[in-house]
Amino acid sequence: MNHTATPAAGGLPEAAGSAIDALPGGLEAGIEAVLMVIDEPIAAGHLAQVLEVSEERVTAALEKLRAQYDGGDTPRGFELRELAGGWRIFSRRDFAPFVSRFVIDGQTARLTQAALETLAVIAYRQPVSRGRIAAIRGVNVDSVVRTLLTRGLIHEAPDDGESGATLYQTTSYFLERLGLGSVSELPRLSPHLPGVGDIDDYDVDSPWQ
Protein backbone atom coordinates (compact mmCIF):
# COMPACT_ATOMS: atom_id res chain seq x y z
CA MET A 1 0.00 0.00 0.00
CA ASN A 2 1.44 3.33 -1.06
CA HIS A 3 1.23 6.47 1.03
CA THR A 4 1.44 9.87 -0.60
CA ALA A 5 3.88 12.34 0.89
CA THR A 6 3.34 16.05 1.04
CA PRO A 7 6.45 18.21 0.94
CA ALA A 8 6.84 20.09 4.21
CA ALA A 9 7.68 23.70 3.50
CA GLY A 10 11.29 24.21 4.53
CA GLY A 11 11.42 20.69 5.98
CA LEU A 12 11.03 16.99 5.31
CA PRO A 13 8.26 15.34 3.30
CA GLU A 14 5.27 14.70 5.52
CA ALA A 15 3.98 11.16 5.39
CA ALA A 16 0.26 10.55 5.78
CA GLY A 17 -0.32 10.16 9.51
CA SER A 18 2.88 11.65 10.91
CA ALA A 19 4.36 9.93 13.97
CA ILE A 20 3.78 13.03 16.09
CA ASP A 21 0.02 12.73 15.53
CA ALA A 22 -0.03 9.31 17.21
CA LEU A 23 1.36 10.70 20.49
CA PRO A 24 -0.78 12.15 23.32
CA GLY A 25 -1.67 15.73 22.45
CA GLY A 26 -0.42 15.33 18.89
CA LEU A 27 1.34 18.14 17.06
CA GLU A 28 0.53 20.88 19.58
CA ALA A 29 1.94 18.85 22.47
CA GLY A 30 5.03 18.07 20.40
CA ILE A 31 5.58 21.76 19.73
CA GLU A 32 5.24 22.53 23.44
CA ALA A 33 7.78 19.82 24.30
CA VAL A 34 10.35 21.42 21.99
CA LEU A 35 9.58 24.97 23.14
CA MET A 36 10.27 23.92 26.73
CA VAL A 37 13.91 23.06 26.03
CA ILE A 38 15.07 25.71 23.55
CA ASP A 39 17.45 28.52 24.55
CA GLU A 40 16.44 30.93 21.80
CA PRO A 41 13.47 31.48 19.47
CA ILE A 42 12.97 28.66 16.97
CA ALA A 43 11.63 29.16 13.45
CA ALA A 44 8.46 27.39 12.32
CA GLY A 45 10.44 25.77 9.50
CA HIS A 46 12.90 24.27 11.99
CA LEU A 47 10.03 22.90 14.07
CA ALA A 48 8.55 21.41 10.92
CA GLN A 49 11.79 19.54 10.23
CA VAL A 50 12.07 18.25 13.78
CA LEU A 51 8.44 17.12 14.00
CA GLU A 52 8.30 15.90 10.39
CA VAL A 53 5.20 17.84 9.39
CA SER A 54 4.57 20.72 7.05
CA GLU A 55 5.50 24.26 8.03
CA GLU A 56 1.90 25.31 7.37
CA ARG A 57 0.65 22.88 10.01
CA VAL A 58 3.26 24.06 12.50
CA THR A 59 2.39 27.71 11.95
CA ALA A 60 -1.32 27.01 12.39
CA ALA A 61 -0.63 25.04 15.58
CA LEU A 62 1.58 27.83 16.96
CA GLU A 63 -1.16 30.40 16.37
CA LYS A 64 -3.68 28.11 18.06
CA LEU A 65 -1.41 27.64 21.08
CA ARG A 66 -0.83 31.38 21.35
CA ALA A 67 -4.59 31.98 21.34
CA GLN A 68 -5.07 29.31 24.01
CA TYR A 69 -2.44 30.85 26.27
CA ASP A 70 -3.87 34.36 25.81
CA GLY A 71 -7.48 33.37 26.42
CA GLY A 72 -9.53 30.63 27.94
CA ASP A 73 -11.01 30.24 31.39
CA THR A 74 -7.65 29.71 33.11
CA PRO A 75 -5.19 32.61 32.61
CA ARG A 76 -1.61 31.44 32.09
CA GLY A 77 1.52 32.98 33.57
CA PHE A 78 3.31 32.49 30.27
CA GLU A 79 2.74 33.47 26.65
CA LEU A 80 3.94 32.39 23.23
CA ARG A 81 5.68 35.15 21.30
CA GLU A 82 7.00 35.39 17.75
CA LEU A 83 10.15 37.50 17.58
CA ALA A 84 13.48 37.55 15.78
CA GLY A 85 12.14 35.17 13.14
CA GLY A 86 11.18 32.49 15.63
CA TRP A 87 8.87 31.40 18.44
CA ARG A 88 9.49 30.99 22.15
CA ILE A 89 7.55 30.76 25.41
CA PHE A 90 8.11 33.67 27.80
CA SER A 91 6.71 34.57 31.20
CA ARG A 92 3.78 36.93 30.76
CA ARG A 93 4.63 40.63 30.80
CA ASP A 94 2.17 41.28 33.63
CA PHE A 95 4.40 39.29 35.97
CA ALA A 96 7.69 40.96 34.94
CA PRO A 97 8.32 42.62 38.35
CA PHE A 98 8.06 39.27 40.15
CA VAL A 99 10.14 37.40 37.58
CA SER A 100 12.78 40.14 37.72
CA ARG A 101 12.90 39.89 41.50
CA PHE A 102 13.37 36.13 41.28
CA VAL A 103 16.14 36.41 38.67
CA ILE A 104 18.00 39.12 40.57
CA ASP A 105 17.73 37.22 43.86
CA GLY A 106 18.86 34.06 42.13
CA GLN A 107 21.92 35.75 40.67
CA THR A 108 23.06 37.27 43.96
CA ALA A 109 25.07 34.16 44.77
CA ARG A 110 26.85 34.33 41.43
CA LEU A 111 27.16 38.07 40.86
CA THR A 112 28.44 40.54 43.43
CA GLN A 113 26.38 43.51 44.51
CA ALA A 114 28.76 45.71 42.51
CA ALA A 115 28.09 43.63 39.39
CA LEU A 116 24.32 43.82 39.88
CA GLU A 117 24.44 47.59 40.35
CA THR A 118 26.60 47.99 37.25
CA LEU A 119 24.26 45.76 35.27
CA ALA A 120 21.29 47.87 36.40
CA VAL A 121 22.99 51.07 35.25
CA ILE A 122 23.73 49.56 31.84
CA ALA A 123 20.22 48.14 31.48
CA TYR A 124 18.45 51.41 32.23
CA ARG A 125 20.85 53.83 30.49
CA GLN A 126 22.21 51.82 27.59
CA PRO A 127 24.24 52.37 25.60
CA VAL A 128 26.54 53.75 28.29
CA SER A 129 30.31 54.07 28.67
CA ARG A 130 32.47 52.72 31.48
CA GLY A 131 33.30 56.29 32.38
CA ARG A 132 29.70 57.17 33.06
CA ILE A 133 29.12 53.98 35.04
CA ALA A 134 32.25 54.61 37.11
CA ALA A 135 31.17 58.21 37.77
CA ILE A 136 27.99 56.93 39.39
CA ARG A 137 29.60 54.17 41.43
CA GLY A 138 32.72 56.13 42.34
CA VAL A 139 35.01 53.17 41.71
CA ASN A 140 36.83 51.51 38.88
CA VAL A 141 34.38 49.22 37.07
CA ASP A 142 36.76 47.54 34.63
CA SER A 143 36.73 44.14 36.36
CA VAL A 144 32.96 44.24 36.86
CA VAL A 145 32.35 45.05 33.20
CA ARG A 146 34.64 42.18 32.20
CA THR A 147 32.61 39.84 34.42
CA LEU A 148 29.33 40.93 32.82
CA LEU A 149 30.86 40.53 29.36
CA THR A 150 32.05 37.03 30.25
CA ARG A 151 28.62 36.07 31.55
CA GLY A 152 27.07 37.20 28.27
CA LEU A 153 24.83 39.72 30.01
CA ILE A 154 26.26 42.75 28.16
CA HIS A 155 28.18 43.41 24.97
CA GLU A 156 29.85 46.31 23.24
CA ALA A 157 27.41 48.53 21.36
CA PRO A 158 28.11 49.56 17.76
CA ASP A 159 30.55 52.48 17.62
CA ASP A 160 28.63 55.74 17.32
CA GLY A 161 31.66 57.42 15.78
CA GLU A 162 31.34 60.48 18.00
CA SER A 163 32.55 60.07 21.57
CA GLY A 164 35.16 57.44 20.80
CA ALA A 165 34.36 55.70 24.09
CA THR A 166 33.33 52.06 24.15
CA LEU A 167 29.63 51.83 24.93
CA TYR A 168 27.90 48.86 26.52
CA GLN A 169 24.38 47.50 26.31
CA THR A 170 22.53 44.41 27.48
CA THR A 171 22.26 41.28 25.39
CA SER A 172 19.33 39.14 24.29
CA TYR A 173 20.45 36.61 26.91
CA PHE A 174 19.87 39.23 29.60
CA LEU A 175 16.32 39.75 28.31
CA GLU A 176 15.72 36.01 28.12
CA ARG A 177 16.74 35.62 31.77
CA LEU A 178 14.15 38.23 32.67
CA GLY A 179 11.52 36.82 30.31
CA LEU A 180 11.25 40.10 28.39
CA GLY A 181 11.00 40.83 24.68
CA SER A 182 12.80 44.20 24.78
CA VAL A 183 14.38 46.66 27.19
CA SER A 184 11.25 48.80 26.98
CA GLU A 185 9.53 46.13 29.10
CA LEU A 186 11.98 46.46 31.99
CA PRO A 187 10.18 47.09 35.28
CA ARG A 188 10.58 50.51 36.86
CA LEU A 189 13.39 49.66 39.25
CA SER A 190 15.35 52.89 38.89
CA PRO A 191 13.62 54.68 41.81
CA HIS A 192 15.05 51.96 44.07
CA LEU A 193 18.59 52.15 42.68
CA PRO A 194 20.52 55.08 44.19
CA GLY A 195 22.21 57.23 41.58
CA VAL A 196 20.69 55.68 38.47
CA GLY A 197 18.21 58.49 38.03
CA ASP A 198 21.01 61.08 38.19
CA ILE A 199 23.33 59.40 35.73
CA ASP A 200 23.02 62.17 33.16
CA ASP A 201 24.32 64.69 35.71
CA TYR A 202 27.73 63.05 35.72
CA ASP A 203 30.54 64.10 33.42
CA VAL A 204 31.37 61.39 30.90
CA ASP A 205 35.06 62.30 31.16
CA SER A 206 35.80 60.18 34.22
CA PRO A 207 39.24 59.03 35.40
CA TRP A 208 37.92 55.45 35.16
CA GLN A 209 36.91 55.64 31.48
Position 8 scores a pLDDT of: 45
Position 15 scores a pLDDT of: 47
Residues 6+ apart with CB under 8 A from 203: 135
**DSSP-assigned letter for residue 121:** H
- Contact (CB, 8 A) for 44 and 62: yes
Q: Which residues of the chain have pLDDT under 70?
A: 1-17, 103-110, 159-164, 189-209
- Name the average pLDDT for the chain: 79
Position 21 scores a pLDDT of: 94
Positive/negative CA dihedral, 64, 69, 73, 74: positive
The fold for domain 94-201 equals Arc Repressor Mutant, subunit A (1.10.10)
Ordered by start, the domain boundaries in the chain are: 5-91, 94-201
pTM exceeds 0.85, yes or no: no
Position 11 scores a pLDDT of: 47
The fold for domain 5-91 equals Arc Repressor Mutant, subunit A (1.10.10)
